[in-house]
Amino acid sequence: MRGVYAQVLVAEDDPKQAELIRRYLVHDSHTVIVVHDGRAAIDEARRRKPDLVVLDVMMPKVDGLDVCRVLRAESDVPIVLLTARTTEDDVLLGLDLGADDYITKPYSPRQLAARVRAVLRRSRRSGGRGQPVLSAGDLVVDQQRHEVTFGGVALECTPAEFRLLAVLVAEPGRTFSRGQLLNQAFGMDKFVTERTIDVHVMNLRRKLEPDPRNPVHLLTVYGVGYKLRDVGADDPSA
């Protein structure tokens, strides 16, 4: 399993599919908890504090997207969504709610196991490199504590948002292409796309900007990518 072992909560209403997922993840040396509805997923996540959640979107009692919304409001646990909804809007909705990755059905259990490994690696790598505390003006990223503050106020960030923000805060004013952000934040993980970067930037703007539609901190450099203004600087157009 390449040394990344975890407690994984699997929420899947199809018992046969849930058992197949469980077997593959156990083969990767994970401890696996299986539940079959959204209400149980929320209860077990609160009780067990898993390292990662595999979450089917279509579940009884509580919809998987609502489960994702609840879990993200309470913690930064990595979430991998399983969905039969294949339109871009459906996928982006899941990412918008805070999921770290998604897999569209049908999929192979081997593919799911690989995605779980990749998300766990990214999550555990996010705070382990470079300076422990990064800052750009009023924006502070504490990589050891996995905390972000802006003007002294704590910001809740998903693991993916945290990694992306750490890259930007490390070099305020530098313009990064989407490819560079993919490489530095996610290690060129083949499951993360440039469109995913755009969604995470949109979500970060909702947390950082007075008006996310007219950003003054996390800026788009048209035709190139993104840059973080040195927060606290006088010139908002810098």
Average of per-residue pLDDT values in the chain: 84
What percentage of residues in the chain have a pLDDT greater than 70?
Answer: 87
For 67, 71, 102, 190, the CA distances from 45, given in Å and listed in that order, are: 10, 8, 19, 28
String of DSSP letters for 182-229: HHHHHTT-TT--HHHHHHHHHHHHHHH-SSTTS-SSEEEETTTEEEE-
pLDDT in tens, 165-185: 988 988 888 899 988 888 788
Rounded Cα gap, residues 129 and 151, in angstroms: 24
Both structure tokens of 91: 């996928």
| Ranges of each domain in the chain | 6-126, 133-228
CA dihedral 176, 52, 147, 196 (to 10 degrees): 20
Residue 204 CB partners (closer than 8 Å, separation 6+) = 157, 161, 164, 165, 218
Q: How confident is the model at residue 76 (pLDDT cuts 50, 70, 90)?
A: confident
Strand partners, 52: 8
Q: What is the pLDDT of residue 158?
A: 85
Residue 67 CB partners (closer than 8 Å, separation 6+) = 11, 38, 41, 42, 55, 59
Architecture of domain 6-126: 3-Layer(aba) Sandwich (3.40)
pLDDT in tens, 148-169: 999 889 998 888 888 899 889 8
Q: What is the pLDDT of residue 189?
A: 57
How many other CB atoms are found less than 10 A from the CB of residue 102? 22
pLDDT in tens, 131-142: 578 888 888 888
Contact 208, 151 (CB under 8 A): no
Architecture of domain 133-228: Orthogonal Bundle (1.10)
Choice between 189 and 218, residue whose per-residue pLDDT is larger: 218
CA dihedral 130, 135, 140, 143 (to 10 degrees): 0
Radius of gyration of the chain from its Cα atoms, rounded to whole angstroms = 18
Residue 98 has pLDDT above 50, yes or no: yes
